[in-house]
Structure 1
């Protein structure tokens, strides 16, 4: 069965929440996914752990959080690529991500090998 755009976005959000819990140590309280042509944008809210909130009180701590999160993310890159391939059927060309130590949000952008609107069955 083909997924609608909304179903695909929901499945990606749920999969990313599971990924964050299993591989980053804490899941977000909210995730929202947007499919835009050959891009998937995922916005995660409240991803910082209590310890990271404490570290974020200083500039040095903010830098440490970013470095650690970048390394963890890079180490898990193939898992994310597989996750997106499983849901969309498209391979990932590149992944871009950043985390805010102020708001506790993470944004992940996936660039895909083709436009997704050619694949999902549309909004029904």
Structure 2
């Protein structure tokens, strides 16, 4: 169980890192620094990929007959990860909107 708890905490860690990086990316985009925002999103994707690899490993073990104990901690980890993925997806869309707004603003400023 201790090894499983360690694995669950890794899911929480990478999910939390991913969510934090997505929020940092949004802050950069809001300031108009789209390249920095995109770098943060890339780091976010890396963190969430790490979590996804852990999750996939747990699923593969379970499908081979090695059942995972479903604890409140596991439910929390899965909830944390899915929330982080949703925040990442929304951040990507919002960064694109900020980018287009900046382009329009620059275009209007240049053509005055």
Instruction: Tell which has more relative contact order, 1 or 2 (C-alpha 8 A, sep 6+).
Output: 2
Structure of higher CA gyration radius? 2
Normalized per residue, the structure richer in strand is: 1
Please tell me the TM-score bracket, short chain as reference: 0.3 to 0.5
TM-score by length of 1: 0.32
Normalized per residue, the structure richer in helix is: 2
TM-score by length of 2: 0.34
